[in-house]
Amino acid sequence: MLNGPRLLFLLAFAAPFTVFASDSHTLAQQLGAVMAAEAPCFLTYDSRAIEMFIRRRVKPDNAIFADDLYRATFTASSHLEKMSQSSKIAYCTQERRVAKSIGFVR
């Protein structure tokens, strides 16, 4: 039976991960958008939460994930620089919500 700390852990860490893709390339693209939002959206991410997310979602032998993530983060950052202020507000609002839902920010 799940109760107390076990239930909280399940709700806080397991459930939110279902919103992300199951294939590595798409996961890297989605995570890249969140990662690119950190500085321009004035967010501070929990490095341990990022590490846990990757350990749970990416296979240890996946040699291309880091490169896919780098390219996705770089592309999203480049797009952010070119956004209008209104677009940036919309982008940051959603990425902040996503980051909170996966435990990167509190």
What pLDDT band is residue 9 in, cutting at 50, 70 and 90?
very low
pLDDT digits (tens, 9 = 90+) for 15-58: 444 456 678 999 999 999 999 999 999 999 999 999 999 999 99
Element spanning 78, H or E: helix 65-82
User: Using CA atoms, how far apart are residues 19 and 7, in angstroms rounded to an integer?
Assistant: 19
pTM of the model as a whole: 0.76
pLDDT digits (tens, 9 = 90+) for 74-90: 999 999 999 999 999 99
Model pLDDT, residue 106: 76
Length of the chain: 106
Model pLDDT, residue 10: 42
Evaluate whether 102 touches 53 at the Cβ level (below 8 Å): yes
User: Using CA atoms, how far apart are residues 56 and 78, in angstroms rounded to an integer?
Assistant: 28
Residue 106: CB atoms within 10 A of its CB come to 8
Model pLDDT, residue 7: 38
Model pLDDT, residue 21: 63
Domain residue ranges of the chain, discontinuous segments joined by +: 23-101
12, pLDDT greater than 90: no
Residue 42 neighbours by CB under 8 Å, 6+ apart: 92
Evaluate whether 17 touches 57 at the Cβ level (below 8 Å): yes
